Amino acid sequence: MSRSFEETVLPHLDAAFNYARWLTRNDVEAEEVVQDASVRALRFFSNLRGNDARAWLLAIVRNAYYARGPRRIEPFTELPADHEALLADEGLGPEALTLQQETVGHVRDAIEQLPVEFREAVVLRELEGLAYKDIAEVTGVPIGTVMSRLSRARDRLLAILAAATREGVRP
Amino acid sequence: MTCVDAIRLVDAYVDDELDSAERSRFRTHVATCAQCGRAVDRRIALQGTVRGAPYYAAPDRLRSAVLARTRTSGRPRRFALAAAAIVVLAIGTGTAIRMVQMRAATEAIAASVVADQIRALQSSRVIDVQSSDRHTVKPWFLGKIDFAPPVDDLSAAGFPLAGGRLATIDGRTVAVLVYQRRLHPIAVFIWPEADARARAADVQAVRGFNVRHWTANGMSFWAVTDANAADLETLERSIRQAAPR
């Protein structure tokens, strides 16, 4: 191992915290998760070898999160019954979405409503910019599953944002 | 390309995950299909929206805490030397320290197997090969791990086989057999153990899961369940009885 933990892993601490924060939806818990993860990362640093350090660290963050216990299991929330209509052509258009771009809190709420598997796929893809194969590595599922989770997550986001728009909800 | 194909690929397209042939077929379709074109526009607009969501950078105090821990625990080489020194010290100073260390190691492994089981339950990937037939499950492990785990038919004892998966425990890939006990899965983690002297079973409760560890026939067994501890004791007995003598 020629490069140190400090040089290889610590540059990805923001990514680790961002991921943990979206998993937990809570600042305090996110810090605890990253603390746990850093202990594990130090312990298993020799296993990193030539792998991508960011994906490696994010996988450890995920493990640290789930190791906190089964209370994490979230109920699977059903889409509103009319979601098909919302997704149809006359649903939310690009213009409506563009209008919402200023309402960051609104977008955050929509992402936070997603089931955790969908939420993490969206966060790793859109905020970390990971490729499907890296998301697959971090979350321990096949690439096909990553693709279908992202697809379903986005359908849901469109439905949630469209429903909020129709109700005239504004933060 | 049909609309059904195009809609199936729209995410891979906006994420730039299509190969060039697929991408050009996709573009050809979208150029002539207004509805699929709008689907692409909606996806791209949504990406823009989602990328505006907050990015939570690590707080400074977290960064300092992690950095401090990095520096105190040193680099892996120093850490390994320190660990080696502790082992030498333990051998020198007797059984008490060695037992404390073994206890710590046992607890660390128990925590790892429970964490893996929680992760598996959470991701609904408790089993990768689903079969109650041991002649299906046993060969599934071939070529995936460098040992052959004992796969026994324990259905007569009330533990029908549900399947198997792989797990990584302490850096090594191990076999996991999943038996069903009424409504509760029991995961049995198995790997070869150099020091497989017969020892009394070790019983722990970790995060609401019961863990039972024993060694037999050169293998280390770690059984994990959310069912009660007595079921694990019965399971251990059944596995020992099924083993060749």
Asked if the C-beta of A45 comes within 8 angstroms of chain B's C-beta atoms, the answer is yes
| Residues of chain B with C-beta less than 8 angstroms from the C-beta of A56 | none
Q: What is the DSSP letter of A73?
A: P
End-to-end CA, chain A:
50
Locate the chain B residue with the closest alpha carbon to A107.
Answer: B53
- Per DSSP (E only), the strands in chain B are 129-130, 161-169, 172-181, 184-192, 202-206, 209-216, 219-225
The yes-or-no verdict on residue A70 having pLDDT over 80 is: no
Among A19-23, B155-159, B195-199, B205-209, the least confident range? B195-199
**Separation CA A80–CA A159 (nearest Å):** 8
**Separation CA B177–CA A82 (nearest Å):** 42
**Separation CA B115–CA B169 (nearest Å):** 10
Q: Please tell me which residue, B169 or A83, carries the higher pLDDT value.
A: B169
- Are both B44 and B124 inside the same structural domain? no
- Are both B145 and B212 inside the same structural domain? yes
**Separation CA A147–CA A160 (nearest Å):** 20
pLDDT for the residue B186: 93
Among A115-124, B3-12, B153-162, B202-211, the least confident range? B202-211
pLDDT for the residue B87: 60
Q: Please tell me which residue, B86 or B38, carries the higher pLDDT value.
A: B38
Average pLDDT over residues A11-25: 94
Average pLDDT over residues A132-137: 93
- Are both B114 and B43 inside the same structural domain? no
Chosen CATH of A5-72 out of 1.10.1740, 1.10.1220, 2.70.98, 1.20.120: 1.10.1740
With bands split at pLDDT 50, 70 and 90, how would you rate the model's confidence at A2?
very low
Asked if the C-beta of A136 comes within 8 angstroms of chain B's C-beta atoms, the answer is no
Domain with CATH 1.10.1740 in chain A: 5-72
**Separation CA B14–CA A37 (nearest Å):** 32
Walk across the sheet containing B172-181 and list its strands. B129-130, B161-169, B172-181, B184-192, B219-225, B209-216, B202-206
Cβ contacts below 8 Å, chain A against chain B, sum to 149
> Domain of B197: which CATH number?
3.30.200.100
Highest mean pLDDT among A32-46, B18-32, B74-88: B18-32
Give the gyration radius of chain A's Cα atoms: 18
Contact (CB<8Å) B208/A94: no
Give the gyration radius of chain B's Cα atoms: 25
Partner residue facing B119 (CB), from A10, A66, A122: A66
Nearest-5° Cα angle at A23, A147 to A94: 50
Question: Tokens 């002649």 belong to which residue?
Answer: B135
> How close B161 gets to chain A, by Cα (Å)?
23
- Are both B109 and B202 inside the same structural domain? yes
Contact (CB<8Å) A5/B56: no
Among A21-30, B89-98, B118-127, the least confident range? B89-98
With bands split at pLDDT 50, 70 and 90, how would you rate the model's confidence at B122?
confident
Residue B98 lies in a domain: no
The yes-or-no verdict on residue A93 having pLDDT over 80 is: no
pLDDT tens per residue across span B165-183: 999 888 888 999 999 888 7
CA-closest candidate to residue B176, choices B162, B186, B193, B164: B164
The yes-or-no verdict on residue B81 having pLDDT over 90 is: no
Q: What is the DSSP letter of B17?
A: -
Residue B43 lies in a domain: yes
Locate the chain B residue with the closest alpha carbon to A105.
Answer: B53
Please give the single-letter amino acid code of residue B100.
Answer: V
Q: Which fold has domain A83-166?
A: Arc Repressor Mutant, subunit A (1.10.10)
Highest mean pLDDT among A111-125, B46-60, B71-85: A111-125
pLDDT for the residue B196: 59
**Separation CA A88–CA A110 (nearest Å):** 19
SS3 per-residue string spanning B111-124 = HHHHHHHHHHHHCC
Q: DSSP 3-state assignment of A34? A: helix
Q: Please tell me which residue, B234 or A102, carries the higher pLDDT value.
A: B234
Q: Say what percent of chain B tops pLDDT 90.
A: 32
pLDDT for the residue A162: 83
Nearest-5° Cα angle at B214, B211 to B216: 150
Average pLDDT over residues A84-106: 54
Q: Please tell me which residue, B11 or B80, carries the higher pLDDT value.
A: B11
The yes-or-no verdict on residue B56 having pLDDT over 70 is: yes
Residue B45 lies in a domain: yes
Residue B69 lies in a domain: no
Contact B145, B129 (CB under 8 A): no
The yes-or-no verdict on residue B22 having pLDDT over 60 is: yes
CA-closest candidate to residue B231, choices B189, B180, B190: B180
Contact B204, B111 (CB under 8 A): no
CA-closest candidate to residue B157, choices B72, B239, B55: B239
**Separation CA B94–CA B116 (nearest Å):** 34
Counting the structural domains of chain B, the total is 2
**Separation CA B205–CA B226 (nearest Å):** 10
Contact A110, A153 (CB under 8 A): no
> What are the residues facing B169 on neighbouring strands?
B172
- Are both B117 and B195 inside the same structural domain? yes
Among A122-126, B84-88, B147-151, the least confident range? B84-88
| Residues of chain A with C-beta less than 8 angstroms from the C-beta of B207 | 67, 69-70
Average pLDDT over residues A19-40: 93
Tokens of B241: 């009885």
Q: What pTM value is reported for the model?
A: 0.55
Highest mean pLDDT among A130-134, B92-96, B129-133, B195-199: A130-134
User: How many C-alpha atoms does B172 have within 13 Å on its Cβ side?
Assistant: 12
How many CB atoms sit inside 10 A of residue A35's CB?
15
Residue B116 lies in a domain: yes
Asked if the C-beta of A21 comes within 8 angstroms of chain B's C-beta atoms, the answer is yes
**Separation CA A135–CA A146 (nearest Å):** 7
The yes-or-no verdict on residue A90 having pLDDT over 80 is: no
With bands split at pLDDT 50, 70 and 90, how would you rate the model's confidence at A171?
very low
Q: Say what percent of chain B tops pLDDT 70.
A: 84
**Separation CA B140–CA B133 (nearest Å):** 11
Backbone angles phi, psi at B189, to 5 degrees: -85, 130
Query: Which residue range is the domain that position B16 belongs to?
Result: 3-51
The yes-or-no verdict on residue B35 having pLDDT over 70 is: yes
Highest mean pLDDT among A3-7, A96-100, B176-180: B176-180
pLDDT for the residue A85: 44
Domain with CATH 1.10.10.10 in chain A: 83-166
| Residues of chain A with C-beta less than 8 angstroms from the C-beta of B67 | 6, 10
pLDDT for the residue B224: 94
The yes-or-no verdict on residue A100 having pLDDT over 50 is: no
Asked if the C-beta of A39 comes within 8 angstroms of chain B's C-beta atoms, the answer is yes
Average pLDDT over residues B120-132: 80
With bands split at pLDDT 50, 70 and 90, how would you rate the model's confidence at A82?
very low
**Separation CA B238–CA B126 (nearest Å):** 22
Residue B169 lies in a domain: yes
Asked if the C-beta of A142 comes within 8 angstroms of chain B's C-beta atoms, the answer is no
The secondary structure element, H or E, covering residue B68 is helix B60-73
- Are both B17 and B120 inside the same structural domain? no
